[in-house]
Homo-oligomer: A and B are copies of this chain.
Amino acid sequence: MLGKASVGIGLLGMGVVGGGVVRALFEKDQQLTGLIGCPVTLQGVLVRDLDKQRSYDQVRDLLTVDAEGILNNPDVDIVVEVMGGEDPALDYILKSITHRKHVVTANKEVMARHGERILSLAREKGVRVLFEASVAGATPIIAPLLRDLVANEILAIRAIINGTTNYILTRMANEGADFTATLEEAKDLGYAEADPTNDIEGIDAAYKLAILATLAFRSTVKDTDVYREGITRLAARDFLYAKELGYAIKLLAIAGKQDGAIQVRVHPVFVPEGTMLAKVGGVLNAVDVETDLAGRVFFHGRGAGSMPTTSAILADVVDVARNVAGGVLLQPSPAFSESLRVRPIQELETRYYLRLDVADRPGVLAQIAMVLGDLGISIASVIQKETDEVAHQAEIVLMTHRAMEASMERAIEALEGLKDVRQVGNLVRVEEFE
């Protein structure tokens, strides 16, 4: 392949992120030319509606509703996909690769579900597929896993990779507000979508964790492999107890490897207050990587937004454009040769926070302790507060030592069967590290 006088870009999508990419391509054209060695030229922009008002009039002539026109254009060297969603993005990405075009995508859903197929086709066709923007926005994490930490064995990843939920949890912690009110506020501020299911149920974080775990463990992990619990069950008083016990509550995406098997899970976690992850506030993202050589490395920054996402996309564009401009043989897309077993959540061993509504009667705590003890779960600390004198109802909060999730599932069932336990208020896993 010979070097080129100009690198052609085909852009699929002109929403918030696409608009940012176009703007940066124009405003930073000199900088990009300097970095790449030749100019980057936008060859076409796929949109759904040609007549929609756009802030960037320079690209009016490049707008098209014809995807094939971009995917078949011989002047397009790199297809930048920022449409989002699985359909038709997956189809366009595969077609781009088939036409031997490099792909830069921000699409977490497609990469989490079809990454193996996409990267395998890319290796076959000798093109590169880069996807830094698909996880944690402007915060570099994919290149660091593939490059900076490449000599390490990755032992665990603990990440806050959903800004909406971190915003909600930060507000709940700071203001003692309850979940529903905080969610509505997040919607008003544009931090949560009208249908927030993907965020608050951990679906978005599971996509991203699948991508990170695949790269970290070099073994294909899909979003459906990820155990998932959302943040909807967290109550204002869980945050009060967490604080009293020295923890923050975060929706963590955790991937760990042990004894040749991996565990991938997204759920609310009690995070020790002294850790960096506990201090990640608002819509920010962070990824903590535990390794054999480097120890723990922590990355923190913006996880979404037009310009932050553009930052990640352009880093990938410059990387692959240098290959195109230099006419060099290409770095192959990563292959994931390992095939590690994914352990079910029942095999998890961790500490637990357990909040129970109980009858305010002598011997209740003894009954609870016996249920737990019979299942090998030992109690580390107890907080008991009388919550409703009239109803003779009290609240018991327990922190356990490390126990098996399978035992805890049986314990919850048994506790729910106790006459004096009115309700299991919440059960939250506790992550101890450092």
Binding site for B on A (CB under 8 A): 24, 28, 31-32, 34-35, 132, 138-140, 143-144, 147-153, 276, 279, 291-302, 305, 307-308, 310-312, 314-315, 317-319, 322, 326-329, 331, 337
Give Cα A32 to B34, complex, Å: 33
State the copy count for this chain. 2
Please tell me if the beta carbons of B318 and A151 are within 8 angstroms of each other in the complex.
yes
The listed residue (B279, B299, B311, B322) touching A279 by CB distance below 8 A is B279
Also in contact, A308 and B322, with CB within 8 A (given A150-B35, A279-B279):
no
**A3 vs chain B, min Cβ distance (A):** 9
Please tell me if the beta carbons of B312 and A302 are within 8 angstroms of each other in the complex.
no
Please tell me if the beta carbons of B301 and A139 are within 8 angstroms of each other in the complex.
no
**A28 vs chain B, min Cβ distance (A):** 6
A-B contact pairs, 8 of them (CB 8 A): A138-B294, A138-B297, A139-B294, A151-B317, A276-B279, A295-B308, A298-B301, A329-B329
Please tell me if the beta carbons of A314 and B151 are within 8 angstroms of each other in the complex.
yes
Please tell me if the beta carbons of A144 and B138 are within 8 angstroms of each other in the complex.
no
Please tell me if the beta carbons of B298 and A311 are within 8 angstroms of each other in the complex.
no
Also in contact, A315 and B138, with CB within 8 A (given A301-B295, A307-B293):
no
Residues in chain B near residue A293, CB distance under 8 A: 24, 138, 307-308, 310-311, 314
Please tell me if the beta carbons of A148 and B294 are within 8 angstroms of each other in the complex.
no
Please tell me if the beta carbons of A301 and B311 are within 8 angstroms of each other in the complex.
no
**A383 vs chain B, min Cβ distance (A):** 27
List 9 A-B pairs, minimum CB-CB distance, nearest first: A151-B314, A138-B294, A140-B148, A293-B311, A294-B311, A297-B301, A298-B300, A293-B307, A328-B329
Please tell me if the beta carbons of A147 and B147 are within 8 angstroms of each other in the complex.
yes
Residues in chain B near residue A329, CB distance under 8 A: 326-329
Residues in chain B near residue A34, CB distance under 8 A: 337
12 more contacts with CB within 8 A, not counting A149-B315, A150-B314, A300-B300, are A32-B151, A138-B295, A140-B140, A140-B148, A147-B319, A149-B311, A293-B307, A294-B311, A295-B301, A295-B302, A296-B301, A297-B302
Residues in chain B near residue A150, CB distance under 8 A: 35, 314-315, 318
Q: Which single residue of chain B is at the shortest CB-CB distance from A305?
A: B295
